[in-house]
A and B are shown apart, each in its own frame.
Chain A
Amino acid sequence: MREFIIVGRPNSGKTMFTLNFAAYVGSKAVDVTFRSYDGLMTCRHFSIEEAKSQLCGMALHKTRSVQSLILKIALGKTSVNFKITDTCGIAETIHNDETIRRGMAQTLSLLRCADFIFHIVDASCLSKENANHSNSIDHEIYNYGVVRNCYAILANKIDLPSAQGNIDKLASLFPRGNTIPVSALYSQGFKEVKTCVARNI
């Protein structure tokens, strides 16, 4: 089973994207497997709405463990299962909370063994951190991802007015990554993501 991993900064919409994408490919309810850094596994059954209200939030670092879902996608006449894994967000700074640092380490270790990387970038607040210095975490993920050859950038939050002009800028910043504009909240642009998944399964 192919594993698709979702990485990005904290609060860029990774969990929201994961859950709405699950709904988009036809799941009404999902079994979310949580795996914490010390190897503890728990599995919970959610309806999509419940999951969104419990797992997503406005605060930074809402997700602290690895959350995997198994989804089904129709491919020709058969349907194929794949695993989509939502991770703890990673940032440039060294966080003072140990659980978050461990979550970041877990994200990076998964990044190494995943079959495909979806890198979520918040297109609405691109200007400050990303454009200026090329030392940002997004650049590092990009550099790491393009050599792996299984990498796509999802420019999230395009429903916000501040994001409109930023998509071209993003494409020029990350020229070798395949940039797909999406809105995780309103499920826009998911068709392209689905074809991308189908191609790489």
Chain B
Amino acid sequence: MSYVWPQDVFLAIEKGDISATQALKCLHEMDNTNGSSAKAHHSQKRIDEILHELDNLIGLSEVKKIVREIYAFIEIQRRREQEKLNTEPLVLHMIFKGNPGTGKTTVARIMSKFFCEIGVLTRGHLIEVERADLVGEYIGHTAQKTREQLKKAYGGILFIDEAYSLARGGEKDFGKESIDVLVKAMEDHKNELILILAGYQKEMEGFLETNPGLRSRFPIHIDFPDYSQQELLRIAERMFLTRQYSLSPDTQSVLLKLLSSHQNSVSENFGNARTVRNIIEKAIRRQAVRLMTKASTTRQELMIIEPADLLEVKQ
């Protein structure tokens, strides 16, 4: 009987598994082995778990490379510190550029967990904001509102989705004021905060042109390329698998055809992985309708998606 976290010990007392005397002994050991191998081992396990989660994402090789780079850098900084060498804190503000549905928000969420675990961020939470959260209603209100959001984000990541909209309104728009506040905060609090701006490729380029200092202030630019058809197919398979459905080989070819037709017809606003998810959910609904008419179904039937289910999915 061993407990890893104090919370487990408290739960055990509540259930009546152990007495207070034993619990205190456990806590005593727990608090006095602070920072020893047990804890280090545990956090290593968590880092591995998060990296595994990241590796499970399909494609996104650039993101994976950058996360590994940062991890290695932090590890080496720690070793340098042991040897009493100079260590510099790292500026990690980032820009995510990519079409809708290429995984920008998903990656940001994983990153916040990861940075917290390796000790770059103290709290490791992710605050997701958009233009409406930052821009105020009257002169002077914007700075106040932006600063409020920044204050919430210290110790974690501030993720601004569709960031280009801050610079869209023209000369007199309050978005500019918000950008000024952000620029100042990201310099002054570079050790406590990671700022991530996300948006579509083309619009973000335009956004970076509006303020000459912006581009250089973000040392990390990550492009989220559109998924290739093979990647989309793998994503679809993964999604079916997590929902415990399976595809027959015929269905795969139909799906591939369907994806390519989608990609060609609506090239501008193609939602990538999100479109795939919609297709899948629709197919699952079609399958359900098909099976409803049958009186009894086998386990196998409940799992398999037929080509016919997919063929009806056409917008």
Contacts and interface: CB of A to CB of B under 8 A. Distances in A.
A105 B21 contact: no
Interface stretch (A15-23, A54-62, A86-94, A170-178): A86-94
A98 B13 contact: no
Nearest to A140: B24
A109 B12 CA distance: 12
A112 B6 CA distance: 9
Interface string A109-142: 1011000000000000000000000011100110
A108 B19 CA distance: 12
A158 interface: no
Give the interface SS of chain A, mostly helix, strand, loop or mixed: helix
Q: How large is the interface on B (under 10, 10 to 19, 20 to 34, 35 or more residues)?
A: 10 to 19
Interface residues of A, number: 27
Interface in B9-40: 9-11, 13-16, 18-21, 23-25, 27-28, 31-32
Contacts of A102: 13-14
A91 B16 CA distance: 13
A12 B21 CA distance: 17
Contact of A94 (B9, B18, B25, B28): B18
Contacts of A135: 21
Contact of B25 (A104, A112, A140): A140
A144 to B, nearest CB: 5
A101 interface: yes
Contacts of B9: 108
Given A101-B14, A112-B6, A147 B20 contact: no
Contacts of B19: 92-94
A81 interface: no
A132 to B, nearest CB: 15
Nearest to B23: A108
Contact of A147 (B10, B13, B32): B32
Nearest to B31: A112
B14 to A, nearest CB: 5
A94 B19 CA distance: 5
Contacts of A106: 10
A47 interface: no
A105 B27 contact: no
A105 B25 contact: no
Interface string B99-111: 0000000000000
A105 B11 contact: yes
B24 A144 contact: yes
11 contacts: A37-B14, A92-B20, A92-B21, A94-B19, A105-B10, A105-B14, A136-B21, A140-B20, A140-B21, A147-B28, A147-B31
Given A101-B15, A108-B23, 19 more contacts: A92-B20, A96-B16, A101-B16, A102-B13, A102-B14, A104-B13, A105-B13, A106-B10, A109-B10, A111-B27, A112-B6, A112-B31, A135-B21, A137-B21, A140-B28, A143-B28, A144-B27, A147-B31, A148-B31
Q: Sorted from nearest, which 4 A-B pairs have the closest CB atoms?
A: A140-B24, A105-B10, A105-B13, A90-B20
